[in-house]
Amino acid sequence: EAQVTQNPRYLITVTGKKLTVTCSQNMNHEYMSWYRQDPGLGLRQIYYSMNVEVTDKGDVPEGYKVSRKEKRNFPLILESPSPNQTSLYFCASSLSLAGNQETQYFGPGTRLLVL
């Protein structure tokens, strides 16, 4: 089954404790992206990747890192989480290098609470 998976689905952590949210897709998609969803603000793009070893900042990259060592995986790293990073996070992927032309497939979401 074609899908985007994220882990964990739910996470409670404390300020400053490094964490990684994994994202994996099995569709051989080139474009992958991370978003955060906050009430009243909509989905905001954190980072995106056009291919292996090619990543770039979205609109809200501060406090996050990403890597794209393999085509299928695009982990989101919070080196020192803070309470303002409490949010619902979505990973998404699309087939084309021109991700802005292609439909994105979303993972199930990761709900993060930083105390």
| DSSP secondary structure of the chain | ---EEEE-SEEEE-TT--EEEEEEESS--SEEEEEEEETTTEEEEEEEEEETTEEEE-S--TT-EE--SSSSB--EEESS--GGG-EEEEEEEESSSSTTTS--EE---EEEEE-
Query: According to the binding rule CB under 8 A, does residue 44 interact with another protein?
Result: yes
Determine which residue in the list 17, 41, 53, 83 makes contact with another protein, applying CB under 8 A.
41
Q: Using the rule CB under 8 A, which residue among 24, 33, 93, 110 binds another protein?
A: 33
Residue 35 found at the interface with another protein (CB under 8 A):
yes
46 to 85: interface string for another protein, x by CB under 8 A: --x-x-----x-xx--------------------------
